[in-house]
A = this chain, B = another copy of it.
Amino acid sequence: MSILVVGSMAYDTVETPRERRERQLGGAATYFSLAAGPDADVRAVAVVGSDFQPEHLQLLADRGVDLTGVVHADGPSFHWSGRYHDDFIERDTLATELGVFADFQPQIPEAWQTSEYLFLANIHPSLQASVLDAMPSTRLVALDTMNLWIENTRDDLVALLPRIDVLMVNDSEARLLSGERSLAAAAAAIKAMGPSRVVIKKGEHGALLFGRDSVLSVPALILPEVIDPTGAGDSFAGGFMASLAAAGASRDSDDAPFREAMIHGTVVASFVPEAFNVESLLARDGASTGARRAELSAMMIP
């Protein structure tokens, strides 16, 4: 079964407390695809500019990602620039140059419209809606969003929520969307707006699944050192969706495969902050994934 992802492919300029890296490979669809790629049949819908390097697309193709849905447009690729605070939790966006992304109108190739799983990465809710319109027969849809859309295009976003199955946000976005301070109350309010499950990402504090009948808290792996956490959230989503697809889960499944998907997403995302950019994600293999999964289980089991 296939996972279709719609989102950005971009270049990121990242400043950490120790180092600055210019124009690294980035974007939500990129990290998602590289995280899900080895374990699932991933189809990417995105737009890249004339400056996008062929070797970067090749990295994705080598990971088994189908790039038929990536449009090549004239102009610069989306470029994001940000600076992490000392704690690596907060970061300031220094620049967002949309480039060819400004006119992105996702087109879903006809053969892909029956993809079973759909991940709508963080883009304008009206574009997310257009993708949903083109894909009426999914088994499961998950959606990411951000404070920008919650604040500026709230009605569009709220109109989408009854059409999706899993909302994936961070804790401050959950609070902003729901108006509730307590995460329990926030998740309940969001579920009342549509999705039957809510995943709340908390960075180094792990992630919470508010499932249909259960709650699961998964800690983040304890890393000796954080180098660059950019893309960890999208990689979590990639691992999460790949696990659901491997289990053949659907929106009607009970919470069990979603709990398992939380674990796999956490394991996959844990590789990202260990190195700049996609390096450690690319180095991930079955052995390192299994070892880290055992480490996570040992941290969780009372």
Number of copies: 2
Query: Do the beta carbons of B205 and A299 come within 8 Å of each other?
Result: no
Q: Assess whether A214 is interfacial by the CB under 8 Å rule.
A: yes
Query: Do the beta carbons of B300 and A214 come within 8 Å of each other?
Result: no
* Cβ 8 A contact of A300, one of B181, B185, B301: B301
8 A Cβ contacts from A210-255 to B: 214-219, 222-226
Beta-carbon nearest neighbor of A202 in chain B: B205
Q: Assess whether A110 is interfacial by the CB under 8 Å rule.
A: no
Q: Assess whether A260 is interfacial by the CB under 8 Å rule.
A: yes
**Could you list which residues of chain A lie within 8 angstroms of chain B, going by C-beta atoms?**
86-88, 181-185, 202, 205-206, 208, 214-219, 222-226, 259-260, 262-263, 297-302
Q: 27 A-B pairs, CB-CB below 8 angstroms?
A: A86-B181, A88-B181, A182-B225, A184-B222, A184-B223, A184-B224, A185-B224, A185-B225, A205-B205, A206-B219, A208-B219, A215-B298, A216-B298, A216-B299, A216-B300, A216-B302, A217-B219, A217-B222, A218-B302, A259-B302, A260-B302, A262-B302, A263-B302, A297-B302, A300-B300, A301-B301, A301-B302
